[in-house]
């Protein structure tokens, strides 16, 4: 089975940001982080910039909190769940909505609107799934290691997509062998 990666329409980032309700979290340094009140909240994390910040082109965006309060931020940035966790301790890293597939080959369709095709698919999500952002790539790595072959992955989220090869890890035992003869050293390798 093959899977053709279709191009998606561009979305308006500021509309996406202003169309949800948020929970407010403060970093250890006092920066405000906003996390959307949706099951896949890791795709909707924003952080305020400094006075001259030009995130979203320097626009001032209005974020409605779940309490109904409106917070206006000039030039905020769309950030990620890892940054949120490091700055605030709030952990939503397993709340990304992703769709993906893993295949033996990857090629081009020759059509500029459908440029990539995943060939000989080994795994494909039945529907988008909430979990860690790298879940498809991590699954591809485990499969590549088990099969001892290069595989290809495609992962799509609310924020975009990525695809590429995953090579099997070369697992080697590393250690110091001393005071052993050639027969024992061969066993340890």
- The answer to whether residues 57 and 107 belong to one domain is no
Distances in Å between the Cα of 60 and the Cα atoms of 50, 52, 55, 77, 141 are 12, 12, 9, 11, 41
- Label residue 122 left, alpha or beta by phi (over 0 means left) and psi (-120 to 50 means alpha): alpha
Taking residues 125-146, what's their average pLDDT? Answer: 96
- The answer to whether residues 54 and 74 belong to one domain is yes
- The predicted model scores a pTM of 0.79
- Tokens at 137, concatenated: 């790539």
Domain membership flag for residue 178: no
Number of domains in the chain: 2
- The answer to whether residues 66 and 99 belong to one domain is no
Q: Which residues contact 49 (CB under 8 A, 6 or more apart)?
A: 55, 73, 74, 75, 76, 77
Q: Is 57 exposed, middle or buried (0-12, 13-18, 19+ CB in 10 A)?
A: exposed
CA distance 100 to 151: 13
Q: Which of 5, 65, 10, 11 is nearest to 33 (CA)?
A: 65
pLDDT score, position 184: 37
- The answer to whether residues 84 and 109 belong to one domain is no
Residue 127 and residue 98 in contact, taking contact as beta carbons nearer than 8 Å: no
- How many other CB atoms are there within 10 angstroms of residue 143's CB atom? 17
> Looking at the predicted structure, is the pLDDT value of residue 26 above 50?
yes
Domain membership flag for residue 27: yes
CA distance 173 to 176: 10
- The answer to whether residues 67 and 101 belong to one domain is no
DSSP 11: -
Taking residues 35-64, what's their average pLDDT? Answer: 92
Range of the domain at 47: 13-88
149 vs 14: which has the higher pLDDT: 149
pLDDT score, position 64: 96
Domain membership flag for residue 26: yes
Helical segments of the chain, H only? 13-18, 81-88, 135-147, 182-188
* Tens digits of residue pLDDT in 154-187: 999 987 888 999 999 965 434 333 343 444 333 3
Taking residues 48-70, what's their average pLDDT? Answer: 91
**Mean pLDDT computed over every residue of the chain:** 86
- The answer to whether residues 108 and 72 belong to one domain is no
* Tens digits of residue pLDDT in 62-90: 999 999 999 999 999 999 999 999 999 99
């Amino acid at each position: 089975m093959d899977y053709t990666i279709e191009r998606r329409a561009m979305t308006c980032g500021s509309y996406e940001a202003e169309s949800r309700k948020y929970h407010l979290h403060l970093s250890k340094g006092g920066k405000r982080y906003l996390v959307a009140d949706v099951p896949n909240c890791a795709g909707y994390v924003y952080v305020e910039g400094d006075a001259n910040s030009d995130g979203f082109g320097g626009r001032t965006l209005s974020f409605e909190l779940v309490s109904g309060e409106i917070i206006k931020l000039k030039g905020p940035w769309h950030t990620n769940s890892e940054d949120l966790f490091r700055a605030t301790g709030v952990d939503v890293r397993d709340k990304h909505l992703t769709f993906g597939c893993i295949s033996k080959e990857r090629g081009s369709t020759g059509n500029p609107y459908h440029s990539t095709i995943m060939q000989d698919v080994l795994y494909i999500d039945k529907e988008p799934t909430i979990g860690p952002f790298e879940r498809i790539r991590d699954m591809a790595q485990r499969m590549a290691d088990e099969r001892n072959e290069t595989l290809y992955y495609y992962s799509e989220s609310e924020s975009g997509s990525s695809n590429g090869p995953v090579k099997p890890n070369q697992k080697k035992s590393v250690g110091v062998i001393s005071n052993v003869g050639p027969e024992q050293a061969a066993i340890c390798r």
